[in-house]
Amino acid sequence: EAGVAQSPRYKIIEKRQSVAFWCNPISGHATLYWYQQILGQGPKLLIQFQNNGVVDDSQLPKDRFSAERLKGVDSTLKIQPAKLEDSAVYLCASSLQAGGLTVGTDTQYFGPGTRLTVL
């Protein structure tokens, strides 16, 4: 079974530029998550989709970050304009379903991440 795919793997941009990340979840997974992992920290949830609807985006800095999940499959995360503090690894994860009765159905599978460096 193919895992969560992300691209690009690495990106270097200047501050105030824009950047977009792409994620393809595991086939059949209804829920998709975007996390930000700053160096030395654990992953922090930015936004959660169930199918193509947003479940929670309370920690997404909406003045510069946006995300969409068209047709309930692939997702893109965009930053515009980027700041120095956005330098981090952006992780995408997916799970079979949300709100399941057992954590097994909600086990999150992570992609390899995109390492963003803002200069």
Partner 1 sequence: DQQVKQNSPSLSVQEGRISILNCDYTNSMFDYFLWYKKYPAEGPTFLISISSIKDKNEDGRFTVFLNKSAKHLSLHIVPSQPGDSAVYFCAASARKAGSYQLTFGKGTKLSVIP
Residues that bind partner 1 (CB under 8 A): 4, 31, 40-45, 48, 50, 55-56, 91, 93, 98-100, 103, 106-113
Handedness of CA 45, 112, 80, 76 (dihedral sign): negative
Asked if 94 contacts 5 with a C-beta cutoff of 8 angstroms, the reply is: no
Q: Is 83 left (phi over 0), alpha (psi -120 to 50) or beta?
A: beta
Which of 17, 87 has the CB closer to partner 1? 87
Asked if 86 contacts 32 with a C-beta cutoff of 8 angstroms, the reply is: no
Asked if 14 contacts 119 with a C-beta cutoff of 8 angstroms, the reply is: yes
Smallest distance, partner 1 to C-beta of residue 78, A: 20
Which of 17, 108 has the CB closer to partner 1? 108
Smallest distance, partner 1 to C-beta of residue 110, A: 3
Which of 10, 80 has the CB closer to partner 1? 10
Which of 81, 100 has the CB closer to partner 1? 100
